Structure 1
Amino acid sequence: MQTPYAYTPEGKIAYIRQIDPDTLPDDIRAQIPGGTQVWGVHRVDGECLALTQDRRSAFFVARENDLEPFSTH
């Protein structure tokens, strides 16, 4: 896959986006307190790698796993 970010090695990009908790599986949704924001760390192919409670934590998780985070909306 070609990426528009020439300085980032293929497979090292993570997309960060806010997720509607209602779209998550029941077992995961049951663990999230009502009104909590959910942010996802996603691979380029869309696979969700991690969920966090805020955007800042999502960027931190990506970087801690040697991924270059980018926002999506």
Structure 2
Amino acid sequence: MVRENLEGATRRILSAAEFAAIGDGHIAYVKPILSDELNALFPQAPELEPGLELYALLGADGSPIVVADTREALIESAREHELVTVSVH
């Protein structure tokens, strides 16, 4: 979709799929999660006691990559795989 702004310039509006694909394979984000949410993101993960604070590394499209108990561990893992990390709040 293309829209024109007040100055007469046009800009292209990205679809949800196009927006999700930006940075695919290059950008990942760190998301704090609780152990209660772990199996929804990582079905193969073992059951953990509820309420533990964890960090998930997710691809630009939201696909889960890895989980750790520290943010620093995720940042290092991303760096090893040449991913740029961003945080979400």
The alignment's C-alpha RMSD in Å is 2.6
Distance 1:49 1:70 in 2: 14
1:50 partnered with 2:56: no
Q: Name the SS for the 1:62 alignment partner.
A: helix
Higher relative contact order (CA 8 A, sep 6+): 1
Which of the two has higher C-alpha Rg? 2
Output the TM-score relative to the length of structure 2.
0.61
2:11 corresponds in structure 1 to none
Distance 1:63 1:42 in 2: 14
Counting strand residues as a fraction of each chain, which structure ranks higher? 2
Distance 1:53 1:71 in 2: 16
Runs ≥4 residues deviating over 4 A: none
Q: Name the SS for the 1:28 alignment partner.
A: coil
- Give aligned-pair identity as a percent: 24
Query: Partner amino acid for 1:58?
Result: L
Output the TM-score relative to the length of structure 1.
0.72
